[in-house]
Homo-oligomer: A and B are copies of this chain.
Amino acid sequence: MSEQPGSVVGRPLAERYETALYGLMCYRELTAFERLSSDARFSPTLGDREALARLAVAEFGHYEAVRERLLARGADPEAAMEPFVAAIDALHERTRPGDWHESLMKAYVIDAVSGDFYRAIARALDEETRLLVSAVQSMEEQTGWIRGRLRAALADDPRLASRLALWGRRLLGEALTQARLIGDEHDFWGNLLPHGSGEEHREVISQLFAKLVQNHSRRMGALGLTA
């Protein structure tokens, strides 16, 4: 690792992390688009189909933004995404929604956990990266819409509530497992604490994951569900 004095992470190393983070985000946004838009077809009403489609299109907009950033850095977007294809495809395969509500819940949970994870990784990177990560992940309007729709559905149906609570835990578990594997494989932890020992890295990871779980619990609480 070629550290430069005076910065948290030396520039060459930071660039490698940035490219990796962008590649991860880029591929996740592309697949979020594909999955959400595929699921849209099974929505109960035309209005619901349109709403999921619109969420999907927003994800594609994020994909385009991150991709442009990779191009601006002289990186090849496909090459940057490639290392994350298997892990993210596996996450999707393990979390295929059974119906429209599960699709909504998947978008609600996975987008948020991913966003928290990206923000944590970006914390040690430059301002421009932090801003891009925030811009891509701030889907306030969309998240508000999903929350409202889920709350309305849950209020009417206690059986749905118990099913979606279980589904939410499953989604969280899969998202955390993938985040852990990806972080290990791409040494994102080294980015968070460049000079740390193995023990210190474990502590950082543990704090990060505790935070991810805590935020998730808060979001499930906002639906009236227990995480």
* Consensus secondary structure, chain A interface: helix
- Residues in B with CB closer than 8 Å to A54 are 60
Closest to A77 in B: B46
Interface size class of A (residues with CB under 8 A): 20 to 34
Total copies of this chain within the assembly: 2
- Residues in B with CB closer than 8 Å to A82 are 46
On whether the beta carbons of A53 and B30 are closer than 8 Å, the reply is: yes
- Residues in B with CB closer than 8 Å to A27 are 46
- Residues in B with CB closer than 8 Å to A60 are 53-54, 57
Q: Which of B33, B47, B77 contacts A37, CB < 8 Å?
A: B33
On whether the beta carbons of B46 and A78 are closer than 8 Å, the reply is: yes
A179 interfacial contact with B, CB 8 Å: no
A133 interfacial contact with B, CB 8 Å: no
- Residues in B with CB closer than 8 Å to A57 are 57, 60
Give the distance in Å from the alpha carbon of A27 to the alpha carbon of B60 in the complex.
21
Closest to A80 in B: B46
| Interface contacts beyond A33-B53, A34-B38: sample of 14 additional A-B pairs, CB < 8 Å, sorted by A | A30-B49, A30-B50, A34-B37, A34-B53, A37-B38, A37-B56, A46-B77, A46-B78, A46-B81, A46-B82, A46-B85, A50-B63, A50-B67, A57-B60
